[in-house]
Structure formats: structure tokens, C-alpha cells
Amino acid sequence: MPSINHESWSKRLSRELSAAWAIARKDMRIYYLKPNIIVSGILFPLFMFLAFAIGKNAPPGTLIPGLISITLLFSASSIEPVSIPIERRVKTFDRLLSAPISLYSLVSGESLSGFLYSLGIACLPLAIGIVVFSTPIVNAPVLVVAMILTAFCFATLGTLFAAYPTENVGEVMSMLNTVRLPLIFISGVFIPISTMPEIGQEIALISPLTYGNDMIEYAYTGRSLFSPLLDIVVQVVFILVFQITANYLYKKFNE
């Protein structure tokens, strides 16, 4: 009897993982090259970064960690707020909800598409830092972990905001940007957290980008505000909170 239960559990897990990957693959095929995703996921963070970096008296190579952080933030959270409202409009999202899979698979699959897109885009500034500016990486394993956690964290955040029951992409993006834009300025990307006023330092503690950027800075410079282990733990907590909240909202709005 235990073997039967184990087999049943294994089959269900395999089915859920296959469903999540199918959803991610569908988004990759349809949405990755849409103009609004290219603008919000690539061009917008690039131009924003350049606008703030031009006035800095620092070698360009030292700005690469911040560019990676911003790229991960925007690119990871740009797929789902576009794909899900569009699919609500054409009624394909209803079919996903009625499919014999759990909401966890649906949320994970949508997040996975943003996660993979973000990692691919973030490799561009990473490669530019290595090839063009010869920016040294002190701890490559930490950088890999930081990019993976940060990308998945903000991909899940994008899926969470896309739970809002609308067929209008602009509505979701407007709400999302009220969170994404402040995160840039309170998370140590442009202004070191240690130089912020005390209230700014306290607010920075509730930003997931703070911990992702801190890990990326550590990977490049060997210096960080928190220990890498703390950064990892906090980001995992944010991912779990975003995932659980997203599942609750999709269930609530689609009952």
C-alpha cells in the first residue's frame, strides 16, 4: 500500500511540474518578443540606469552590479502582468483555471516564464561587465545564487500583481510600477543604504531588492551590508510570501 501511495504522489508531482513547464513554455513562445515587454523589461531599466549613472564620477565597470539588479527587477516582473490580462481578454486563462492542475502549478508556471526571461536578459550586463569593462567577480557562486533568487522573487511578484482581475495590461503595470520604482531608490542600487537617513534604512529592510542587490554587490566587491546567508534566507521568505499570497488571490478572484 505505501508503494501505491508513493506512486500516486509521484505521478501527481510529475503532472504538476509538466503543467508548470507547459505554461512557462507557452509564455516564452508568445510573449518574450512583444514590444511592451521589450520596453518594460529591457529598455526602461537600461535608460533609467543610464540617467542616474551618467552623473556619477565612477568607472563604468563599477556600475555593473546595480545594472544587473535593476534588470532583474524589471525583466522578471514584466511577463505575467502582460500575458495574464491578455489571456483573460481572449478567454484562454479560463481554460488554464479549469485544467486539472493546482493553482500552485499555474502560479509557478507563470513565474517560471518571467524567471527564465529575466536570467537571460541579466546575462547581457553581466557579459558587458566581463568583456567590455573587465569587471572582476570576487565570488561567482554567490552571484549565481543572487541572480536566481532575485529573478524568481520578482517573477513571483509580477504573477502576484497579475492576479488583479482585469483584462487591461496598463492597469496591472500601473499598480506594479508604484512598487517597482520606489524599490530602486530605497534598496541601495543608486544610494548606499548606509548613507540614507535612519528612516530610509528602516524602509530598505522591507524591500526584497535590498537583499538581492546586497548579494550581487558582495559577489563583485566582497563587501555587503548583511551576510550572504541572511540575504538568501530573507529572499526565500519573500518568495514564499509572494507565492502563497498569489495563490490566495487567484483562488479568491476566480471562485
> Would you give the DSSP letter of residue 226?
S
Within a domain: residue 34? yes
Q: How many domains does the chain have?
A: 1
Within a domain: residue 162? yes
**What's the whole-model pTM score?**
0.87
**Alpha carbon distances (Å) from 108 to 73, 134, 154, 239, 254:** 18, 36, 12, 11, 17
Within a domain: residue 2? no
What is the number of alpha carbons within 13 Å of residue 49 lying toward its C-beta? 22
Task: Tell me the C-alpha distance between 38 and 25, whole Å.
Answer: 18
Instruction: Kindly report, residue by residue over 29-66, the tens digit of the pLDDT.
Output: 888 787 777 777 777 777 777 766 666 666 666 788 98
pLDDT in tens, the chain (255 residues): 444 445 577 777 788 888 888 888 888 888 878 777 777 777 777 777 776 666 666 666 678 898 899 999 999 998 999 889 998 998 888 888 777 778 888 888 889 999 999 998 999 889 988 888 888 999 999 999 999 999 999 999 999 999 998 889 889 999 999 999 899 889 988 888 888 888 989 999 999 999 999 999 999 999 999 999 999 999 999 999 999 999 999 888 876
Within a domain: residue 6? no
Within a domain: residue 31? yes
Q: What is the pLDDT of residue 4?
A: 46
Task: Tell me the C-alpha distance between 219 and 5, whole Å.
Answer: 44
Q: What is the pLDDT of residue 119?
A: 92
The residues near 137 (Cβ < 8 Å, ≥ 6 apart) are 130, 143, 219, 220
| CA 203 to centroid of chain Cα atoms | 20
Q: Provide the 3-class DSSP secondary structure of residue 25.
A: helix
Q: What is the pLDDT of residue 55?
A: 63
Contact 15, 101 (CB under 8 A): yes
Q: What is the pLDDT of residue 3?
A: 47
Q: Provide the 3-class DSSP secondary structure of residue 79.
A: coil
The domain of 214 spans 14-253
Secondary structure of 86-139 in HEC code, one letter for each residue: HHHHCCHHHHHHHCCCCHHHHHHHHHHHHHHHHHHHHHHHHHHHHHCCCCCCCC
Give which of 11, 173, 34, 162 is closest to 96, Cα–Cα. 162
91: left (phi over 0), alpha (psi -120 to 50) or beta: left
Within a domain: residue 3? no
Task: Tell me the C-alpha distance between 72 and 64, whole Å.
Answer: 12
Q: What is the pLDDT of residue 2?
A: 47
Q: What is the pLDDT of residue 61?
A: 65
Within a domain: residue 5? no
- Residue 164 grid cell: 488583479
Q: What is the pLDDT of residue 39?
A: 75
Within a domain: residue 7? no
